[in-house]
Structure formats: C-alpha cells, structure tokens
Amino acid sequence: EADIYQTPRYLVIGTGKKITLECSQTMGHDKMYWYQQDPGMELHLIHYSYGVNSTEKGDLSSESTVSRIRTEHFPLTLESARPSHTSQYLCASSEFGLNYGYTFGSGTRLTVV
C-alpha cells in the first residue's frame, strides 16, 4: 500500500548514543519533511527536502542531521542523543503538482535516558 512509514515506532536509548530514525515513502513524493512534536502538541519543522541531494534546515534549530540519497528515503540522525531530544518525531511528504496537503507518518516516540 502506498504510504509513508516510520521506524521504530518507539525508542528508548541512553545518553550519548547515536541513533537514526527511518522514514520511507512509497508514493514517489519529491518533498519530505521532519517535524518534532512537543508533548504539548505543537509541530516544529526541523528539516525538509525537495528532492534527492536537497536538504534544508527548518524553523526550529535541531542538532539532528538528515540525508536524501534516494527519493523514497529520508532518515534523521542524532550523533549523540541527549535527554533534551526526547520527543515525538513525525515525517511527512508531499508531491509537486498534486493538489492536496501533507501525508504524515505514524511517528517515532524517542525517549533518551
């Protein structure tokens, strides 16, 4: 089924560990986005990409990095996790020329202890 998939769904990890949150979409969308969602709900854009080899930082400064080597794959990496990185991370995608909004993934809830 064409959709956007995020793994893992939940992750508990120790401080200082390197982690990669996976996001893949099978819809052939060019545009992809990473949002950090507060416990208080608000969505903060941390990274986006308009296509292969294109990545940009979002409105909220983040210590994470992203890559876009393949259209369908947009992983987010934290080199050294800290408790302040504890949050929900949502991946989304959209497509040039299509007349609807974002499709979101189910999210990764990250807890750094």
Partner 1 sequence: GENVEQHPSTLSVQEGDSAVIKCTYSDSASNYFPWYKQELGKRPQLIIDIRSNVGEKKDQRIAVTLNKTAKHFSLHITETQPEDSAVYFCAASKTPPGFGNEKLTFGTGTRLTIIP
Distance CA(73)–CA(100), nearest Å, equals: 21
Spacing of C-alpha 60 from chain mean position: 13
Six token digits for residue 22: 């996976």
Q: Is the backbone of residue 12 left (phi > 0), alpha (psi -120 to 50) or beta?
A: beta
Using rule CB under 8 A, residue 102 touches partner 1: yes
**Choice between 65 and 106, CB closer to partner 1:** 106
Q: Which of 23, 90, 110, 112 binds partner 1 (CB under 8 A)?
A: 90
Cβ at position 58, least distance to partner 1 in Å? 8
Q: Which stretch binds partner 1 (CB under 8 A): 11-19, 20-28, 45-53, 69-77?
A: 45-53
Distance CA(28)–CA(65), nearest Å, equals: 22
Query: Count of residues binding partner 1 (CB under 8 A)?
Result: 24
Binding site for partner 1 (CB under 8 A): 31, 33, 40-43, 45, 48, 50, 59, 90, 94-102, 104-107
